[in-house]
Amino acid sequence: MGVTVEPNDGGFGAAIRGVDLRRPPDDADVAAIRAAWLAHQVVWFPDQPMAHADLERFTRCFGDWGHDPYVAPVAGHPHVLEIRREPDEPVAPFGGAWHSDWSFQAEPPSATLLHAKIVPPVGGETWFADGAAAYEALSERERAEIDGLTAFHSARRPYSHEGFRAGRGDQRSMRILPSDRAWDVQPHPLVRTHPETGRRVLWVNAVYTIGIQGMPDGPAQALLERLCRHATDDRFVYRHRWAPDMLTMWDNRSVQHCARGGYDGHRRVMHRTTVAGDRPR
């Protein structure tokens, strides 16, 4: 049958069918999937029971491994993270605030892949926000205000020892690895250009973006808060519902996301990989 792509209305997000990811996809299938991923930014593959080796093999179809600090990997699989929340876990879901994965790195991941193992019967959605559409919706005056600005990103809020304690990281079923390295700061353009599509992207998030170069903290925080509200406005958000064995892959260079709750009393288990990216420009 071959790969088929079923886009959402508006084109942000698409289902992909016609491929069995338990087997190595051929070059034509990989090219079709990559084209769909670039066009729709979030793609998902329903009904894909996958072992770790299947997820690892498929991830490598799109590039080298990303570097995943601060979370212990699955034993024997150094590039696979288990995103787990137990029924009685007393803290908010991991990744529950809007963010772009590892934007504090010099070269953040190009893609994140998440495979659903145990899906709660209620809640547990992942919401995605389209940073390219958010930038395009800004007025010319607003674009002129932010084009050329440099933002600072840091992992300190969730992954410093102080942030770990404040977020009750020791009460998670996942093993978080706080570090003093989380205080490091990485400068990135506030508006980046997607290296493959050429689209301009509002690249700011509430978890890792902590300041703006050359701007006092008060005005910088006010601008960042305004931009983060704009970037996650309902106009740009797709609310993704999971099913067991569903694999979802998103473009971390233009999309931010957040994990929703609403499933207390139920277990949720996902397995995650990332693909290496390049320096935002």
pLDDT on residue 85: 97
Tokens of 141: 């005056």
Angle at 68 between CA 148 and CA 204, to 5 degrees: 25
Mean pLDDT score, 217-237:
98
| % of the chain with per-residue pLDDT over 90 | 99
Mean pLDDT of 93-109: 97
279, 104 Cβ separation under 8 angstroms: no
Closest CA to 181 of 102, 101, 118: 102
pLDDT at 1 > cutoff 70: no
Kindly state the average pLDDT of the residues 182-210.
Answer: 98
Give DSSP secondary structure letters for 82-124. EEEE-TT--SPPTT-S-B-TTTTSSS--SEEEEEEEE--SS--
For 178-195, the pLDDT digits (tens) are 999 999 999 999 999 999
- What does the pLDDT average to over 195-211? 98
Q: Above 90 in pLDDT, residue 18?
A: yes
Strand partners, 15: 6, 44
pLDDT at residue 2 is higher than 90: no
Q: Which residues contact 275 (CB under 8 A, 6 or more apart)?
A: 59, 62, 63, 64, 65, 66, 109, 110, 111, 112, 113
The arithmetic mean of pLDDT across residues 69-98, rounded, is 97
Q: Which token pair is 160?
A: 């410093």
Amino acid 199 reads R
Let me know: does 14 contact 20? Beta carbons within 8 Å.
Answer: no
If one counts every other C-beta atom within 10 angstroms of the C-beta of residue 28, the result is 10
CA distances to 90, 118, 153, 155, 160 from 178, rounded to whole Å, are: 19, 27, 17, 10, 5
Residue 203 and residue 280 in contact, taking contact as beta carbons nearer than 8 Å = yes
8-state DSSP, 195: T
pLDDT reported for residue 204: 98
What is the model's pLDDT at position 15?
98
pTM beyond 0.95 = yes
Name the token pair of 192.
Answer: 């980046």
Does pLDDT of 94 surpass 70? Answer: yes
Q: Average pLDDT, whole number, for the chain?
A: 97
Give the mean pLDDT of 240-247.
98
CATH code, 4-275? 3.60.130.10
Supply the pLDDT for residue 183. Answer: 98
Given a contact cutoff of 8 angstroms between Cβ atoms, the answer to whether 190 and 212 are in contact is yes
Looking at residue 154, its pLDDT comes to 98
Q: What is the mean pLDDT of residues 130-145?
A: 98
